[in-house]
Amino acid sequence: MKKLYIASLLMLSTSWSSAQIGAVAPDFTVTDISGNSHNLYTYLNAGKVVILDISATWCGPCWNFHNGHFLESLYDEFGPNGTDEVVVLFYEADGSTNSADLHGTGSSTQGDWVTGVPYPIIDEAQPSLNQNIFAPLGYPTINVICPSDKKIKADLWDSGGNLNHMRGVVQTNIDNCALAAGVQEQLLLNAVISPNPTGSKTTINLTSPNAGEATVSIYSVSGALISEATYSVENGQNAIELDLSALDSGTYFVSVKTDELASGMLPVVKQ
């Protein structure tokens, strides 16, 4: 069972009515243990479904779920190395725990929560997330957040540890929420980056149905905006050269938007 918050038990009438399933997820910006920043609405506005795991290092059910490697499987399938439709975030929500607990060497932990985890881990000394919404019944709570209306649609903890059920919940939200967010319209702007990978310069080849301006934005894998520039485009085929020589090696995401259409997030690898 989940650990129930005393605060939640004392405020059933005020917190549960607006908490979790069906609630609009409030925006947040957090920094993971590697120093990367993550903004919820940046991911949602990019059409990503966000899976937010709210757990605590001392929590037995959280540890059992963690060791089921369910989120790792979902991350592999739907994350940046898969279909790139989902962002997975792990949030350690108890401010009384510390980094040693997270790494399995402290006094309030079930084990090592870090080794082998491919998705971002957030551990704030003063938790900033609204747990009355993101974890109203305690830990673990595995929120599935929809990009179209920014509402929490499901709690993967309720799957009973069935990975196929979790995959179905995630896929349903990808199909319904991402499409409702207008991703199907965004993809109408046909854009391809080549060469990719690239050592320094690459080209966005795009087909625009109208003459006008296109805004090209480059994001880090954490969703942080690195650069943005505007280019004139003609009706038909266009080629926009990108100079990535100032960037470190790694994966980045490029978005191309006109007044009417957008490309979605296009991955590019800088060697």
* For the chain, percent of residues with pLDDT exceeding 90: 56
pLDDT of the residue at 259 = 72
**Encoded tokens for 80:** 């940046």
Question: Rounded CA gap, 8 and 19, in Å?
Answer: 10
- Of 1.10.760.10, 3.40.50.10260, 3.40.50.1820, 3.40.30.10, the CATH number of 6-181 is 3.40.30.10
Q: pLDDT tier at 45 (50, 70, 90 boundaries)?
A: confident
CATH 3.40.30.10 intervals, the chain: 6-181
Range(s) within the chain of domains with CATH label 2.60.40.1930: 187-270
| Statement: residue 18 has pLDDT above 70 | no
> Per-residue pLDDT tens for 126-143?
999 999 999 998 999 999
In a 13 Å sphere around the CA of 205, the CA atoms on its Cβ side amount to 5
Give percent of the chain above pLDDT 70.
87
List the strands of the sheet with 86-92, edge to edge.
121-123, 86-92, 49-55, 141-145, 152-155
Residue 186 pLDDT > 90: no
Structure tokens at 231: 């280019």
Does the pLDDT at position 102 exceed 60? Answer: yes
Residues 23-28, mean pLDDT to the nearest whole number: 92
Rounded Cα–Cα distance for residues 129 and 27 (Å): 9
Cα atoms found within 13 Å of the Cα of residue 11, Cβ hemisphere only: 15
- CA torsion sign for 94, 95, 96, 101 is positive
* CATH placement of domain 187-270: 2.60.40.1930
Q: Order of strands across the sheet with 236-243?
A: 190-194, 201-208, 236-243
Q: Give the residue from 204, 209, 203 showing the smallest Cα distance to 185.
A: 209
pLDDT of residue 267: 82
More confident residue, 120 or 173: 120
pLDDT tens-digit series, residues 50-86: 999 999 999 999 999 999 999 999 999 999 999 999 9
Top mean pLDDT of 40-49, 116-125, 170-179 is at 116-125
Check residues 206 and 120 and name the one with the higher pLDDT.
Answer: 120
Residue-level pLDDT at 4:
45
Which range among 104-113, 143-152, 187-196 has the greatest average pLDDT? 104-113
The reported pLDDT for the residue numbered 13 is 28
CA separation for the pair 152, 180 (Å, rounded): 15
